[in-house]
Structure 1
Amino acid sequence: MATCSNCSSDCSSDNDTLQDSVALFQFIVYIPVLSLGVPLNTIAFWVFCCKIKRWTETRVYMINLMVADSFLLFALPFMIYFTKYDHPIGNLCLTIQSIYFTNMPMSILIITLIAIDRYIAIKFPLKARILRSPLKSASVCGFLWTTLIIYSCWQSRIHAKTEGFCLRRQSTEPSYSSLFSIIFGYFMPLGIVIFCSVQVIRCLKKKMATSPHETKLTQKAIHIVSVNLCVFAVCFSPFYVARLLRFAVDVAKACSLLSEVRASIQISACLANSNCCLDAFCYYFAAKEFPEFPSLLPTCILMRFKMNQSQESQPPTDQVMT
């Protein structure tokens, strides 16, 4: 990897042609994301807030995810402008940065919570009655919102002190706080989502269907979990891998690679931000395919669990304890 002795000057220079190309690419991607994301999230809000009567853990998480996606959609036009033009850091910039630094991590963490909630409900149906409740889900989401808002405001203030333009990181000093957010804000949640999703899929495949209707529900549930996992990994992984590359470039002072790495972060951010539009399709499938399944599956597993317990404790007289 190439290094240089006077990186401060070389690394501060941008490739204007490359930056213009990135700005054009962002514009092309974000226009359809905004055009689809705004109406789809509006419809999703109406469905989950008005059409669904019963409060469940999934409903709480989905509404919080919609709030995070909606704020991210609000920030996208400003991000297009800030990428194209050198906008000085001010109140508007700090506000948009705080919104952006809050809502993408919040989306990731809520998707992680949904995966954990599914895992607990299906793998441990008895304990789920104690561990899960809409109030507990709302409390966890409230804690995450508070923590991330404080952290994002702190990050924005640091950025304002060290950088000259909005959403432009010119400093080549390694940011260990950024490394912390990459590991604990994405790669750890990614591992949790993969583990929970794989365990849920394995549990569903082992489930003995008692009717064609139940088999169909199980297959749909496996499909939904698989698609959600793929969307999560495909959307966010390139962005956080690119951020890891930026940290490595800063540590190695590899100035010749800096412009390309910056461009890769901005391009992969388009894919990550498009998740706020793709989530709306997940809302649709969740609302369409899951109405019967969440209540059906834990009950079936619970019945099997009780039956196994009864068989294990069955006395020699073949009397079944209930």
Structure 2
Amino acid sequence: MNLSSCNITAYENFPLVQLCVYIPVFLLGILLNMLALWVFCCKLIKWTETRVYMVNLAVADCLLLFTLPFKTLSQFHQMKVGTWCLVLEGGYFINRLMSIGIITVVAADRYLAIKYPLKSKVLRSPLKAAFASGFLWIVIICVISLIKKLEDREQDEFCFEKSSVKPSVITLCAIIVGFFVPMIIVSYCSVEVIAELTRKRNENCHEENLMRKAVYIVSANMAVFIVCFLPLYLGHLLRFVMDSTSSNCSAIQTVNNFVHLASVLANTNCCLDAICYYFVNKEFKEASPKLAKSKSEASGKTQFPCTSC
């Protein structure tokens, strides 16, 4: 079959699906993230590493939410690929990758704080968190701008749509570096933190309730991250494989439809971040000093496991 004759587009009712999902996502997401920004910027007294990261995450999620109405309208009106389309796509992907990046940095920062609470004092500070966030913004903006400049969109007719069946190596690299590497980091750090908190919970009777809640929160954060983003990036990966090996236009179209639906699920993450990471900030602000104290005590005397909590 001649793949050049394939006409890969979003299925007919997809813009309507977007509209039905994105209206509540947009309203709820803006409300929750603006509330989070107000709390983090105005109501808390002391700036912490987590607070710095949460502000950047809320900003990235808000900016992504503001692109959703334009994304929906562009597909309702079948916007052609052009300068405005590339700017809109760039803003959308910059803020999605920034959201993923900040979640990854938070997981690594949390790992250091819980696993090595004394040693991490040298590496962790609000100023260093601000520099790390700023560096991440600059890198992601530059990378997405470069990708948009190098991408071959001549065969793509509509905005937010890969019409051609030519495999894109640039897209493959962006998928691996932009999601799968962060997912490995988030998963590893979260599992290690859960293991450390579970061990501390068994050793410290008085802190068992606090540690148990922290374990639930870390588990929920990891689950939300994987559930929201993994289907989308698996879909992108499968689309790359299909473009490279398949001669079945219908199969490629099916994968394309799945990617569009998975993108809707991924964008709901903007609402969930504000909820999840509020609890992370609250619980780990309480848990980290206690773990640090426990670590310092352990160096001076033997710790005995709790037997009657």
Q: Is there any run of 5+ residues in structure 1 with no aligned partner, and where?
A: 310-322
Q: Residues 276-295 of structure 1 correspond to what in structure 2 (within 5 A)?
A: 276-295=270-289
Match for residue 49 of structure 1?
Answer: 41
Q: Is there any run of 5+ residues in structure 2 with no aligned partner, and where?
A: 304-309
What letter matches 2:256 in structure 1?
R
For the Cα contact (< 8 Å) 2:51–2:281, is it kept in 1? no
Match for residue 28 of structure 1?
Answer: 20
Match for residue 98 of structure 2?
Answer: 106
What letter matches 2:262 in structure 1?
S
Between 282-291 and 165-174, the greater mean CA deviation after superposition? 282-291
RMSD: 1.9
Which structure would you say has the larger Rg? 1
Q: Normalised by the size of structure 1, how large is the TM-score?
A: 0.88
Question: Which of 41, 61, 64 is the aligned partner of 1:72?
Answer: 64
User: SS at 2:119's partner residue?
Assistant: helix
Deviation at 1:308, TM superposition (A): 5.1
Match for residue 260 of structure 2?
Answer: 266
Deviation at 1:304, TM superposition (A): 1.9
Following TM superposition, the consecutive aligned residue runs of length 4 or more in structure 1 with deviations greater than 6 angstroms are: none
Between 270-279 and 82-91, the greater mean CA deviation after superposition? 82-91
For the pair 1:130 / 2:125, whether they are aligned, the reply is no
Deviations 1:114-137 (A, max 9, x none): 111111111112220112112222
Q: Percent identity?
A: 46
What letter matches 1:139 in structure 2?
F
Alpha carbons of 1:86 and 1:157: their partners in 2 closer, same or farther (altered >3 Å)? Answer: farther
d(CA) in 1 for partners of 2:18, 2:293: 47
Deviation at 1:160, TM superposition (A): 7.1
For the pair 1:189 / 2:182, whether they are aligned, the reply is yes
Match for residue 12 of structure 1?
Answer: 7
Question: Which of 198, 203, 211 is the aligned partner of 1:205?
Answer: 198
Q: Residues 153-168 of structure 1 correspond to what in structure 2 (within 5 A)?
A: 153-159=145-151, 161-162=153-154, 163-168=156-161
Deviation at 1:219, TM superposition (A): 1.0
Alpha carbons of 1:216 and 1:249: their partners in 2 closer, same or farther (altered >3 Å)? Answer: same
User: SS at 1:64's partner residue?
Assistant: helix
Figure out how many residues of one structure are paired with residues of the other and give that number.
Answer: 300
Deviation at 1:161, TM superposition (A): 4.5
Deviations 1:65-122 (A, max 9, x none): 1111011001001111122232123343222111111111111111111111111111
User: SS at 2:157's partner residue?
Assistant: coil
What letter matches 2:228 in structure 1?
C
